[in-house]
Amino acid sequence: MTETRPLRRDARDNIAKLQAAALEVFLAKGLDASLDEIARTAGVSIGTLYNRFGSREGLIDAVIPEVAGSKLLAFGTAVLAKTTPRERLEEFVTGMIDLQGEDPALNDAILRRYPDAVALLGICDRSIALGQDLVRDAHADGSLSPDFTEHDLFCMLWLAGIANRDPHAPANWQRVITRALDQAWTVGAAGQHAQTEVRGGSREGAEK
């Protein structure tokens, strides 16, 4: 059996510095942030980064899944605390769009921009499964039109993700998504709620 030699202290220190720098830069700029910038922030060479993590995806999986998983777990708990299937689905849509706007790294993960970062995709897949369940629940209680599908839900999130990445996205693009969801409820459910609330700083003025 081949024994794995323990890393030297300086190697362990470099890994820790790279992980801290990657987390800082990825969260601020998204998963396509410059690896050279991450190496500079960590105070090591780009060769050291590749030597320790192998690839961008390896570095992503080393630092982002834990943070994203914690954030999405808390989000899922808040969604499921809502009373009705409609309220839960509305909370899911508005909350996910908020998270995508606030967290460039999570937005990139939702868009599956780095499919080889398998640990991160596994975390996001659990949120996707939650959204699918919410659509089915709203269909089952009759509040959501059968014409609105699970695919429609994730088209909304994809469009929001693309718009969040583009500084030149049309103003009030959020209103289009809000209206699409508002129109998906059945006639019997139409009077249960006011128009889906648009929250977050990224959507200020969307209903003005």
- Evaluate whether 178 touches 206 at the Cβ level (below 8 Å): yes
Q: Which of 108-112, 178-182, 201-205 has the lowest mean pLDDT?
A: 201-205
Task: Name the CA dihedral angle for 192, 193, 195, 197, rounded to a multiple of 10 degrees.
Answer: -160
Q: Rounded mean pLDDT of 46-72?
A: 94
Q: 168-190: per-residue pLDDT in tens? A: 999 889 899 989 999 999 976 54
The domain limits of the chain are 1-54, 57-200
Place of tokens 């909350």: 95
> Does the pLDDT value for residue 56 go beyond 80?
yes
In CATH, which of 1.10.357, 1.10.3470, 3.40.140, 2.60.40 is domain 57-200? 1.10.357
SS3 201: helix
Q: What is the pLDDT of residues 12-54, one digit of tens each?
A: 899 999 999 999 999 999 999 999 999 999 999 999 999 999 9
Helix (H, G, I), strand (E, B) or coil at 181: helix
Output b/e per residue, 13-37; b: 16+ Cβ within 10 A: ebbebbbebbbbbbbeebbebebee
Looking at domain 1-54, its CATH class is mainly alpha
